[in-house]
Amino acid sequence: MPKTTSNYSCLDDKVWPTDDRHGSEEDSAEYKCTYVTKKAALGDGHFSVVKECMNTMTKDRYAMKLVHKSLVMDKLQIIQREVSVLKKVSSLIRELELLHQKASEDRNHGVVFEGHHHVLQLFDFFETSKNIVLITQLCESEDLYDKILNAGHLDLETQVKPFTACLLSALQFLHSNRIIHRDLKAENVLFRLKTKTNMIELPRDDATYDKSAHDLILADFGLALNTDAGSREFVGTISYLAPELVACKNSAKSSSIQYGRLKPYGTAVDVWALGVLCYFMACGYMPFDCETDSETMDYITKSDYYIDEDMSNDEKFKEFWSFLDKCFEVDMEERATADDLSSHSFVCPQYFPNKSPNPADDLSKKPKLRVSKSSTSLHSLEPPSRSASTVSLNLSESLRLPDTRETNLNKIRETLRKTLSMTSIKREPNVLLNVQNGGGSSNFSRASSTFKLEPELPNTALMNGCLCATPESYSNFTTSPAMSRTGSKNNVQTVVGSWNEASMSALNSGATLAFDGNSYDSSRLHKASQTTSPPVSSSTAADTRKDKIIFQLGEDE
Ligand SMILES: Nc1ncnc2c1ncn2[C@@H]1O[C@H](COP(=O)(O)OP(=O)(O)OP(=O)(O)O)[C@@H](O)[C@H]1O
């Protein structure tokens, strides 16, 4: 096996390897790295940038999420969780595919959206001195947020229903495996890019629904939690928060007695968020958004959402309102589960043919127009501003254009106002998973899905949790092979284990940290951003964001 001398390199498009499916270990050696990325970013979030990449050995295309360690600083726990949840999910997906493979012949195929097909899959991960790197399925640049905004709102029958059904199915899958997503929102719903490896024949050319539903992928597991015990952390995105999450607003500051009195929340928060998203798809604006966050949270607590009079009288929407009524139940214990909702007539039996509509769902009940008269501001009927992830898609462009920079920064600040700071996370014991890889390649295809899962990468083409010192480089291929070591197969613990309390506090104090012998000087980046940064708003989240902008400017230059 040839030795790769670096983990990844960034290439100009003109030298991008052709996707001819004739990759080999020699190609990998030629590029002297396991992955090559395109220069341009597909998108970016608070702590990360996502780029298209290609495995040099298999020539398969993926998304590479580069989480910058200097930006996560004391929040490494978030990335640890994301990696461990994604690793668990990917392993479960493989297991399910194998099980279904056996049962597939006897199945009666209607339009079924298999939940696990709609959850972002992790293929590989590794670490460099600067980044934690995740290799996942590649998705299109237009996400659900763009889809809604470009169209004004989505069509109830052909889009809202099938997209909701896909998401319900994904939630059923996650919740049955004790995973709470906690950040379900339009920006985190992506659409799989069709590649040679994942596409099969479309099952129904006469489909009466938007077939892109088959490509829908729930992404961004940055806030996901794998737990039975629930949580009291105040995290998420304001417009999508459930009342029980709003109740945790001051949890990080509360005394241990107050903290203990707070009811831990669970998977029901995702069902509430699904209701918000379903409403946003159908209306093009948000149900609870007001001028101020405190008013928005007040309306959420009362489940007081804006209802358009015409829509409330329209017969076509009666199942929609009834479905929302179930999602927007204030009491989390009374709220319908994803499983219950899959037998609601809004989506059943059309998208859940194995279930019967629940006769207890009251469709005759008209939604009450419940907007409180006492409110000082009206419900906002504007579409919400995009959360940080893609406001900054053109960030490096805007930084080169001084006149648009302030506008972009303001957009980002506005978004961050709506996107909660994650600083309220209380440290909880690490959730360490020792997940077995699912194993076995799956070239099985289901008549009910337009996709088969991409095959697993062969072990020789994986970084598999390696720790490599090489930062992103522009094809200089100079890194010594001695700088990387081979990771073990079940290596979530290897990565997690290197981020202990001591390393986190060392990072906080700006000390130089050794990651398995490779030193990482957190103070260097931090100081650089301090010296170049003009005064900014007092928000912690905005500061973090700004640090990122400045750092990217430095990198681009
Ligand atoms: N698999 C993918 N394929 C294509 N684009 C992607 C993929 N994953 C993420 N992106 C793009 O990158 C952006 C940021 O990704 P992601 O939301 O995972 O990052 P994040 O740092 O967790 O963001 P957040 O600000 O929500 O915390 C997304 O909004 C999307 O535009």
- Check if 145 has its Cβ closer than 6 Å to any atom of ligand 1: no
Residues 517 and 420 in one domain: no
Binding-site positions for ATP read 65
pLDDT of residue 356: 86
3-state secondary structure of 176: helix
pLDDT at 110 over 80: no
Nearest 5 degrees, angle CA 232-CA 235-CA 239?
A: 120
- Check if 48 has its Cβ closer than 6 Å to any atom of ligand 1: yes
The CA 97 to ligand 1 mean position distance, Å, reads: 25
- Check if 89 has its Cβ closer than 6 Å to any atom of ligand 1: no
Mean pLDDT, to the nearest integer, of 244-252?
Answer: 90
Residue 466 resides in a domain? no
Residues 434 and 530 in one domain: no
pLDDT at 398 over 70: no
Quote the percentage of the chain above a pLDDT of 70.
Answer: 56
Containing 553, the helix (H) or strand (E) segment is helix 540-556
Residues 408 and 511 in one domain: no
Residue 1 resides in a domain? no
To the nearest whole number, what is the mean pLDDT of the chain? 69
Express each pLDDT in 10-31 by its tens digit. Answer: 666 555 666 555 555 555 556 6
- CA–CA dist 200, 145 (Å, integer): 27
Last residue in a domain, options 406, 430, 448? 448
- CA–CA dist 502, 509 (Å, integer): 11
- CA–CA dist 535, 522 (Å, integer): 21
Nearest 5 degrees, angle CA 270-CA 273-CA 275?
A: 115
If one residue of 38, 220, 392, 415 were mutated to test the ligand 1 pocket, choosing by the most ligand atoms within 8 A of its CB, it would be 220
Residues 267 and 383 in one domain: yes
- Check if 45 has its Cβ closer than 6 Å to any atom of ligand 1: yes
- Check if 139 has its Cβ closer than 6 Å to any atom of ligand 1: yes
Contact 281, 153 (CB under 8 A): yes
Mean pLDDT, to the nearest integer, of 312-328?
Answer: 93
- Check if 5 has its Cβ closer than 6 Å to any atom of ligand 1: no
Whose Cα sits closest to atom 20 in ligand 1? 45
Nearest 5 degrees, angle CA 208-CA 321-CA 230?
A: 100
Residues 438 and 494 in one domain: no
What b/e readout covers 352-391, taking b as 16+ CB neighbours within 10 angstroms? beeeebeeebeeeeebeeeeeeeeeeebbeebbbbbbbbb
Residue 472 resides in a domain? no
CATH number of the CATH domain containing 428: 1.10.510.10
Lowest mean pLDDT among 167-181, 437-451, 505-519: 505-519
pLDDT of residue 56: 85
Residue 233 resides in a domain? yes
In the block, which residue shows the tokens 């829509």? 311
Transcribe 341-372 into DSSP letters.
HTTSTTTTTTT-TTS---TTS-SSPPPP----
pLDDT of residue 173: 95
pLDDT of residue 172: 96
Residue 426 resides in a domain? yes
Residue type, 402: P
pLDDT of residue 319: 94
pLDDT of residue 375: 43
The CA 436 to ligand 1 mean position distance, Å, reads: 26
Residues 386 and 503 in one domain: no
pLDDT of residue 179: 96
- Kindly give the number of the ligand 1 atom that is closest to the alpha carbon of 217: 1
pLDDT of residue 512: 25
Mean pLDDT, to the nearest integer, of 132-154?
Answer: 94
Cα-Cα-Cα-Cα dihedral sign, residues 23, 29, 34, 38: negative
Binding-site positions read 65
The CA 206 to ligand 1 mean position distance, Å, reads: 33
Express each pLDDT in 443-496 by its tens digit. Answer: 333 344 455 666 677 776 666 666 554 434 332 222 222 223 233 232 222 222
In angstroms, the Cα distances linking 80 to 87, 129, 236, 270 are 11, 16, 17, 21
Whose Cα sits closest to atom 23 in ligand 1? 45
- CA–CA dist 517, 87 (Å, integer): 25
Residues 264 and 384 in one domain: yes
Last residue in a domain, options 431, 448, 465? 448
The CA 389 to ligand 1 mean position distance, Å, reads: 6
- CA–CA dist 21, 196 (Å, integer): 9
Lowest mean pLDDT among 101-105, 340-344, 409-413, 527-531: 527-531
If one residue of 37, 48, 62 were mutated to test the ligand 1 pocket, choosing by the most ligand atoms within 8 A of its CB, it would be 48
- CA–CA dist 556, 261 (Å, integer): 49
Express each pLDDT in 35-77 by its tens digit. Answer: 888 888 998 877 889 999 988 888 889 999 998 888 877 677 7
- CA–CA dist 459, 442 (Å, integer): 15
| Per-residue DSSP letter, 157 | I
Last residue in a domain, options 433, 448, 463? 448
pLDDT of residue 313: 87
Domain limits for position 516: 477-552
What are the catalytic residues?
Answer: 183
Mean pLDDT, to the nearest integer, of 218-233?
Answer: 91
- Check if 97 has its Cβ closer than 6 Å to any atom of ligand 1: no
The CA 61 to ligand 1 mean position distance, Å, reads: 16
Residue 401 resides in a domain? yes
pLDDT of residue 358: 84
Q: Write the CB contacts of 211 (distance below 8 Å, at least 6 apart in sequence).
A: 202, 450
The CA 79 to ligand 1 mean position distance, Å, reads: 13
**Within 10 A of 166 (CB to CB), how many other CB atoms are there?**
25
Lowest mean pLDDT among 151-155, 461-465, 552-556: 552-556
Give the chain's domain count.
2
Residues 444 and 542 in one domain: no
- Kindly give the number of the ligand 1 atom that is closest to the alpha carbon of 50: 12
pLDDT tier for residue 320 given thresholds of 50, 70 and 90 = very high
**520 strand-pairing partners:** 513
In angstroms, the Cα distances linking 160 to 213, 319, 347 are 10, 12, 10
Whose Cα sits closest to atom 31 in ligand 1? 43
- Check if 187 has its Cβ closer than 6 Å to any atom of ligand 1: yes
In the block, which residue shows the tokens 């947020």? 145
- Check if 122 has its Cβ closer than 6 Å to any atom of ligand 1: no
pLDDT at 93 over 80: yes
Contact 188, 218 (CB under 8 A): yes
Lowest mean pLDDT among 94-103, 138-147, 455-464, 544-553: 544-553
Query: Between residues 417 and 133, which one has the greater pLDDT?
Result: 133
pLDDT of residue 218: 97
The CA 315 to ligand 1 mean position distance, Å, reads: 38
- CA–CA dist 474, 179 (Å, integer): 38
